[in-house]
Amino acid sequence: MYTPFFKQHGVWLLPLLCISFSAQAVHLDVEIWGEGNSMSAGFCRTASSVGCDLAGLVASLQLPPNILPEDGATGKMIFLTDFRDFSGGPYKTPNPGFQAVQNALNPGELVRYRALGSLQFWDAATRQWGPAPTGARIKLAGGIDPALVITDHTKCGGKLFCFAPGAGGGDAATLYTVNGIAGKQEMLVDAANDQGTLHTHLNWFLENNQGVLGGPIGAYMVEMQVLSNQRSQPSESFYILFNAGLPVADFSDALMDRVFELPDTPPPPPMLLPVANAGADRVVRIASQVHLDGSLSYDPQPGPDSLSYNWIQTVGTAVTLVGAHQSNPSFIPTRPGNYTFKLTVSNGTNAGYDEVTYTVASAGDVDLDGDIDRIDVALILRAAKKVKKKEPKANPNDVRDLDGNGIINRTDARMAKARCTLRKCHPTRR
């Protein structure tokens, strides 16, 4: 039977299981399996397997309903055990074990563990997690040094592997300390049988630096991952949480402190790209010098380079763009129509984009309706009215300044009238 797990709000959820359990110490073995070129480790996928009493685990630790342990800061699974279980205790335990169901591994596949990190400790007095006391360590023994395993079948009587003399003597061990890993970081767990299954228990000890059993009361946590000689990628790492003399309620609190811990570091802020600003769309006079304006572009997260500019024309009669790699290039439109330019600004890593369109009408088409008539002439005459005997100045590229001399006067109106495209081209008289 396969039991699915799913996550909600960052917590592993466990469906209701109809599993009976006896009044024994409950543990949860680490289930391992191969997926292509990678190893995987996780909570047991087969509820009927030995060491897979999920409902019993939840009930015995008085966990909140439907919660399985997962570290809130890292998202890694936490396997639980107790140094006081019936087959060990009070400072040693063979749990959790390692198991693989049928066909989860290849026949003869060698599985080993790799110890990671440093020893962590939950203090019942302060009710906080922190580094373990200096004089305490957890020893993992019972594995075989991979250096003693021979995989050359010609030296193993045709077998896939064999052990060198002295292998399995039990002298080598892994030591989790507050300062990191000592002893053997990697050890062989076991080999899968011809059906691809495996079920092995090694031995965990709580001891002092002299190897004497015992240590402060509290919860201890170590980290490891599993590897295979037939797959290049190790499993994701996981934690093992040991109860060393705590009441059930305190051990549950230690676990919940991990489950509901916030991530170690906040997520990085979103990357802000350079902001390109090619200016507003405008109407400009034909045959005038038009200046593009990208000066309002900026980089909200500067670097690694200063902001660079690159303009290209995307629409309209081709023109020569002078200063295309500057913030304010220029061009001269030679024909009526739309001229569109794309601006790219870059800081050497990221870029931003914007476009601007300049509308160019025929000389004299002031109202941009596609013809030149009395309305256009009237618009020019209205703008040409003298104020205190001064002729009004034209804005740069002003379509009413037909001769481009910088002022709007009757000369411009006469030029528009001469270019009239309709039958009547006289200003409306009031």
pLDDT, tens digit (0-9, with 9 covering 90-100), for 124-151:
999 999 999 999 999 999 988 877 777 7
Q: What is the pLDDT of residue 56?
A: 65
What is the structure's pLDDT at 113? 96
Q: What is the CB neighbour count within 10 angstroms for residue 247?
A: 11
Percent of the chain with pLDDT over 70: 80
Q: How confident is the model at residue 368 (pLDDT cuts 50, 70, 90)?
A: confident
The mean pLDDT value for 209-214 works out to 93
The predicted pLDDT at position 156 comes to 74
Residue, of 294 and 49, whose pLDDT is higher:
294
**pLDDT of res. 165:** 65
pTM, two decimal places = 0.56
- Distance between CA 201 and CA 95 in Å, rounded? 6
Place of tokens 């080999």: 191
Task: Give the pLDDT of residue 23.
Answer: 32
Q: What does the block give as tokens for 358? A: 């300049």
**Can you tell me the mean pLDDT for 84-93?**
79
Q: Which long-range contacts (CB under 8 A, 24 or more apart) does 55-62 make?
A: 55/14, 55/16, 55/17, 55/19, 55/21, 56/19, 56/21, 56/26, 57/26, 57/27, 57/28, 58/14, 59/21, 60/21, 60/26, 60/248, 61/26, 61/248, 61/251, 61/252, 61/255, 62/248, 62/249, 62/252
Short-list 32, 10, 28, 46, CA closest to 225: 32
Number of Cβ atoms within 10 Å of the Cβ of 404: 17
Please compute the mean of the pLDDT values over residues 83-87 and round it to a whole number.
75
Q: What is the pLDDT of residue 89?
A: 73
Percent of the chain with pLDDT strictly greater than 90: 54
pLDDT higher than threshold 50 for residue 282: yes
Please report, to the nearest 10 degrees, the dihedral formed by the alpha carbons of residues 178, 180, 182, 184 taken in order.
Answer: 130
Lowest mean pLDDT: which of 63-72, 194-203, 322-331? 63-72
Q: Omega before 333 cis (within 30°)? A: no
Q: How confident is the model at residue 51 (pLDDT cuts 50, 70, 90)?
A: low
Residue corresponding to tokens 């699974």? 77
pLDDT in tens, 164-191: 665 545 578 999 999 999 999 999 998 8
Tens digits of residue pLDDT in 343-367: 999 999 899 999 999 999 999 899 9
Q: Which amino acid is at 153?
A: H
Predicted pLDDT at 16: 28
Q: pLDDT grade, residue 59 (50/70/90)?
A: low
Asked whether the beta carbons of 92 and 204 are under 8 A apart, the reply is yes
Q: Tell me, what's the pLDDT at 73?
A: 86
Predicted pLDDT at 8: 36
The pLDDT score that the predictor gives to residue 393 is 86
**Cα separation of 67 and 118, whole Å?**
26
Residue type, 423: R
d(CA 307, CA 348): 8
pLDDT digit string, tens, across residues 151-165 = 766 777 766 667 766
C-alpha–C-alpha distance, residues 419 and 274, integer Å: 46
pLDDT value of residue 347: 94
Query: What mean pLDDT do residues 407-427 have?
Result: 84
Query: Given a cut of 70, is residue 57 above it in pLDDT?
Result: no
Check: CB of residue 142 under 8 Å from CB of residue 170: yes
Q: Which residue has the higher pLDDT, 427 or 202?
A: 202
pLDDT band at 330 (very low <50, low <70, confident <90, very high): very high
Per-residue confidence band for 90, with pLDDT thresholds at 50, 70 and 90: confident
* pLDDT at residue 19 greater than cutoff 70: no
Average pLDDT over residues 197-220: 94
| Whole-number average pLDDT of the chain | 84
- Direct distance between the N- and C-terminal alpha carbons of the chain, in angstroms, rounded to an integer: 95
| pLDDT band per the 50, 70, 90 thresholds, residue 112 | very high
